[in-house]
Amino acid sequence: MGPARSSGVGSGNSGAYTTEIAESLRFEEEIHSIVHPSLDSSPAAGGSFTALLGLPANQAVELLHETGPSEAPSSAAAPSPTGELWRLRLGEHAAGPLHLPLGCSPTFPSNAALVERAARFSVFAAEDSPELSSGGGPSPRLKAEPPDSDSPPPLPIPTEKTQRPAKRKECEKSKAKGPAKKSKSAEENTVAAPKETAAENTDGEKLPYVHVRARRGQATDSHSLAERARREKINARMKLLQELVPGCSKITGTALVLDEIINHVQSLQRQVEFLSMRLAAVNPRIDFGGLDGFLLAECGPLATANGRGGVALDPALWSSHPVTANGARWLPQPQIRHVDVWPTQQSSTAWTRDGAAHPHALLNPGASLFGYDPASSVSLNSNQLKTEL
Amino acid sequence: MIPSPASSSSGSRKRRMKRGQKAQPATKWRTAAQERVYGRRLLEALRTTAALGPRAVKEAADSALALTARGRSRWSRAILLRTGRKIRRGRRRARAAEAAGGRVRGRLRVLRRLVPGCRNLSAGSLLEEAADYVAALEMQVKAMRALADALSAAPEAAAASEPGSRGGV
């Protein structure tokens, strides 16, 4: 992002709003497409980059006069098409010596301060791309501050930077709403502009801060901005959940979606309970050694989602496994594992049948016995033992 | 990953920036690899579980699930820590009313109760944890169902085909 790019920023403060809007549209689009490549090049929020450049009101006016058709960064009422306006209240540089012909003219780099700003802007651009719509990470911006503290217009930049993340979020959000609100916000801006300019001029010595023109009908203080950001985050997470929970995409309204989510979670937890009951009932009977294949079978249908292999194994393994492999594998496992447990189980009275004790011992060495379905298991176990012995 | 105690938006975003984008829970929990990992852990847990009964099985399954989550999510850590605490402490408190505080707030409260370890979380983090939890639960149900089917089908099949398997051995 070169200096030339960053120069053509902000909407002009000329008399005709249409030209301003057109100019701002043109340049904002450029800049936003660079800084936020994933966002659409919708008519961008006007003054966000004027704030970046940090040019004072009078300088902006000068620049405007110098560069006819090209953009001039505005600090006074710059009606952004989206209704959001970034403005700087500058105390210090009322006497700023910036006389730059702005726009994409090659004379831009001649001004050291603007070059600096452009460099900073490119820093921001580079750092913005990873966090496009988040607007978080004030630290990169804060880090960029110290080097700039020596530059001629130092003060407005730091404050503006700290507030920028939140404001940039607003900027991006309002960009999306831009076209619809263009005309309305233009009128809004014109009304409020003179007031702001006057305020700016009078507070010559105060520390500058950034005015943010909020969307139409919304408050502008930092609290509501933060709240809006928080709400956006929550809405994004809700969308994720909606995709996760089946049947939630059609539902509109946070409360109902939450209802669905709660029902889904409860049903899943209930299913886990039922399945654990089943598993508990089945547990004592089965030797777990022969079940390694069930994972492969289970992964088959899952793998289709990934397009991974393992599907080929699925039907063959699943059908054959319980029949042959399990039966085959049951034999070696008991032999290997529970020679030690065997004597303890033999002593218990409940386990008169050796076969019955054996697989159970695998699961609960030394644990108490519990009831299970003796019919199928015992016959099986006794058969096993016959072959073992 | 070590979470910052205050999971502020900028903090979590910074973490994500440094590590690259975090995988979405839906895709993370639905891979075959995860299912395999969990399945193995589940088998292991069931094999070595000392206590019997459905509650113990469920706890073992939940612990296996939490292990598979590698402690990245709050609920998984809460589950892993649960075994120490919840055993002694019973569920003393009665269920509070769910509709108090407005619809969304009330439902958020219910969700907080459902997702383990999320009692004091903000709404945003709660929803994030809930998404991860739902995805993990779905995988758990799938795996447990497969295991239960395999276990209950195996002995019947083996018993039925005893002579065949004998021959095969």
Grouping H, G, I as helix, E, B as strand and the rest as coil, residue A84 is: coil
Q: What is the dihedral of CA B154, B156, B162, B168, to 10 degrees?
A: -20
- A-to-B residue pairs, Cβ atoms closer than 8 angstroms: 229
Average pLDDT over residues A349-363: 43
Average pLDDT over residues A328-339: 43
pLDDT at site A269: 92
**Residue A235 near chain B (CB below 8 Å):** no
pLDDT at site A280: 82
Residue B73 pLDDT level (bands cut at 50, 70, 90): confident
Most confident segment among A63-72, A242-251, A349-358, B134-143: B134-143
What are B147's two structure tokens?
A: 């295991």
Other CB atoms within a 10 A radius of the CB of residue B147 amount to 25
Other CB atoms within a 10 A radius of the CB of residue A31 amount to 24
- Rounded distance, CA B111 to CA B5, Å? 21
CA distance B39 to chain A (A): 6
Q: Is it the case that residue B131 has pLDDT exceeding 80?
A: yes
CB contact under 8 A, B52 and A367: yes
Query: Which of these, A221, A202, A219, lies nearest to A210 by C-alpha position?
Result: A221
What are A66's two structure tokens?
A: 């110098």
Stretch (H or E) spanning A88: strand A86-88
All residues of chain B having their beta carbon less than 8 Å from the beta carbon of residue A292 are 43
pLDDT in tens, B26-45: 777 888 888 888 888 878 77
Query: A103-117, B62-76, B95-109: lowest mean pLDDT where?
Result: A103-117
The residue type of B85 is R
CB contact under 8 A, A131 and B17: yes
The residue type of A118 is A
Report in angstroms the alpha-carbon separations of A158 from A5, A140, A155, A240: 22, 12, 6, 36
pLDDT in tens, A135-147: 444 444 444 444 4
- Rounded distance, CA B151 to CA B47, Å? 12
pLDDT in tens, A169-225: 444 444 444 444 444 444 444 444 444 444 444 444 555 666 656 566 666 788 899
Q: What is the mean pLDDT of chain B?
A: 74
CB contact under 8 A, A268 and B57: no
What 3 state SS string does A190-227 have? HHHHHHHHHHHHHCCCCCCCEEECCCCCCCCCHHHHHH
Q: Is it the case that residue A347 has pLDDT exceeding 60?
A: no
Q: Is it the case that residue A367 has pLDDT exceeding 70?
A: no
Residue in A272, A286, A308 closest to B155 by CB: A286
Residue A10 pLDDT level (bands cut at 50, 70, 90): very low
CB contact under 8 A, B151 and A286: yes
Helix B103-114, helix A254-282: angle, nearest 10: 20
CB contact under 8 A, A282 and B153: no
- Rounded distance, CA A53 to CA A27, Å? 14
Q: Is it the case that residue A296 has pLDDT exceeding 80?
A: no
Report the length, in residues, of chain B: 169
Task: Name the more confident of A172 and B155.
Answer: B155
Q: Is it the case that residue B61 has pLDDT exceeding 50?
A: yes
Burial of B66 (0-12, 13-18, 19+ CB in 10 A): buried
pLDDT at site B2: 55
Q: What are phi and psi of A35, to 5 degrees?
A: -70, -40
Grouping H, G, I as helix, E, B as strand and the rest as coil, residue A367 is: coil
pLDDT at site A266: 93
Task: Name the more confident of A264 and A171.
Answer: A264
Over pLDDT 70: what percentage of chain B? Answer: 66
Q: Is it the case that residue A14 has pLDDT exceeding 90?
A: no
Query: A55-59, A377-381, B11-15, B20-24: lowest mean pLDDT where?
Result: A377-381
What are A212's two structure tokens?
A: 């943010």
Average pLDDT over residues A5-18: 47
Q: Is it the case that residue A46 has pLDDT exceeding 50?
A: no
pLDDT at site A349: 45
Question: What residue has token string 């991860």?
Answer: B132
- Rounded distance, CA A139 to CA A83, Å? 28
Query: Which of these, A346, A253, A19, lies nearest to B104 by C-alpha position?
Result: A253
pLDDT at site A114: 55
Name the CA radius of gyration of chain A, rounded.
Answer: 35
Q: Is it the case that residue A6 has pLDDT exceeding 90?
A: no
CB contact under 8 A, A240 and B57: no
**Residue A370 near chain B (CB below 8 Å):** yes
Q: Is it the case that residue A275 has pLDDT exceeding 70?
A: yes
Q: Is it the case that residue B64 has pLDDT exceeding 80?
A: yes
Q: Is it the case that residue A267 has pLDDT exceeding 90?
A: yes
Q: What is the mean pLDDT of chain A?
A: 54
- Rounded distance, CA A75 to CA A72, Å? 9
**Residue A143 near chain B (CB below 8 Å):** no
Q: What are phi and psi of A210, to 5 degrees?
A: -100, 130
**Residue A305 near chain B (CB below 8 Å):** yes
pLDDT at site A264: 92
Check residue A199 and give left, alpha or beta (phi > 0: left; psi -120 to 50: alpha): alpha
